[in-house]
Amino acid sequence: MAGHSKFKNIMYRKGAQDAKRSKIFSKLAREITVAAKSGLPDPAMNPRLRTAVLAARKESMPKDNVDRAIKKAAEPGGDDFEELRYEGFGPGGVAIIVEALTDNRNRTATHVRTIFSKNGGNLGASGSVSHGFERCGLITYELKAGDGDTVFEAALEAGADDVVSSEDGHEVYTAMDALHEVAKALQAKLGEPESAKLHWRAKENVSVDEANARTLMNLIDALEDDDDVQTVYGNYDVPEDVLAKLG
């Protein structure tokens, strides 16, 4: 569930994430439950829940698991999760934003701080790096949705702010409060997106050399492996030749 938008920078970790499927399902279920509690337990009437269910589908999460997570929101005495954001710096001066859902903020803060310090980074104060990111909506499509011109025209008509197309797919950026309206309009033209979610988009990326890249990836892997961490965003750009050396 990497939060940055550079497709090539997540390929390095995809194999590791595939091996952590049960943990991914657990995090998806937590988000679905929180989303269902925040509004109606119907994805058609609850944009956040609709986004969470779409993410679960992308990861091939069984429908029974999704339904169970939604029902859990209505159960009395269930876990109350708090949404937290941490900001810090990784190797090479990379800015990192960590979003978490937790039932114990002290535990999560300790874990996140320890992960940063053990992997060449340091946790900063609130607002220390978020000024270098834009909070926005991100809708992604696979290449089969259409060529760059087709997706660009559809996104423009739907009210999107920007489109980035590459050999790995299409990224459509929107204003934060326009995400679901744009996603709905795009779905009518291009079909169901691969994902549609709120996103932290870096205003400028930092190129990371080989010396720092491995430590940085270890930091991000460790953060994503934590049970309470939902999403990790960074303003890093790892060159393809460095990624190839990392395996």
Q: What is the pLDDT of residues 130-170, one digit of tens each?
A: 999 999 999 999 999 999 999 999 999 999 999 999 988 99
Q: Amino acid identity, residue 163?
A: V
Residue 77: per-residue pLDDT: 64
Residues of the chain with CATH 3.30.70.980: 82-131+204-246, 134-202
Which residues sit opposite 202 in a β-bridge? 133
In CATH terms, the fold of domain 134-202 is: Alpha-Beta Plaits (3.30.70)
Residue 11: per-residue pLDDT: 45
Tell me if the domain spanning 7-72 has CATH number 1.10.10.200: yes
Could you tell me the pTM of the whole model? 0.87
Residue 212: per-residue pLDDT: 94
**pLDDT, tens digit (0-9, with 9 covering 90-100), for 68-120:** 999 998 887 666 899 999 999 999 999 999 999 999 999 999 999 999 999 99
In CATH terms, the fold of domain 82-131+204-246 is: Alpha-Beta Plaits (3.30.70)
Residue 19: per-residue pLDDT: 53
Tell me the average pLDDT across 207-233.
94
Residues of the chain with CATH 1.10.10.200: 7-72
Average pLDDT, the chain: 89
DSSP 82-126: EEEEEEEE-GGG-EEEEEEEES-HHHHHHHHHHHHHHTT-EEE-T
Q: H or E segment at 234?
A: strand 229-234
Report the alpha-carbon distance of residue 173 to residue 186 in Å, rounded: 12
| Residue 13 clears pLDDT 60, i.e. is over it | no
Residue 78: per-residue pLDDT: 60
